[in-house]
Amino acid sequence: MFLRDMISQFVKTSDFGLLRDILKQHGRRGFNLACRAAGIRRGEAHRRLRLYNDNGPIHEVAKAACGLKTTNWG
């Protein structure tokens, strides 16, 4: 399937399984184009695909800055 067809299908359906296929077949450039076309931030798409999770680093920064233990982040 062509990249433009996959992107238009992703914009219509917002199926993140399709976005994962775009990433596998067309790399980061296709992934970025699909996110831009759908109006989704790339960081949000990475989190939805479970490729990137920043909860741990955010917890470490909050702990160092505040000295407080938060129950929401583990």
Range of the domain at 59: 3-66
Q: Which pLDDT value is given to residue 18?
A: 94
Write down the pTM of the prediction.
0.66
The per-residue b/e assignment along 6-40, b for 16 or more CB within 10 angstroms, e otherwise, is bbeebeeeeeeebbbbbbeebeeebbebbbeebeb
- Looking at the domain assignment, is residue 73 inside a domain? no
Higher local confidence (pLDDT), 72 or 33? 33
Res 66 pLDDT > 60: yes
Q: How many domains does the chain have?
A: 1
Q: Report pLDDT digits (tens) over 9-65.
A: 999 999 999 999 999 999 999 999 999 999 999 988 988 888 776 666 666 777 777
- Looking at the domain assignment, is residue 50 inside a domain? yes
Minimal CA–CA distance to 46: which of 16, 25, 73, 74?
16
Amino acid letter, 28: R
- Looking at the domain assignment, is residue 74 inside a domain? no
Q: Which pLDDT value is given to residue 67?
A: 65
Q: Which pLDDT value is given to residue 3?
A: 93
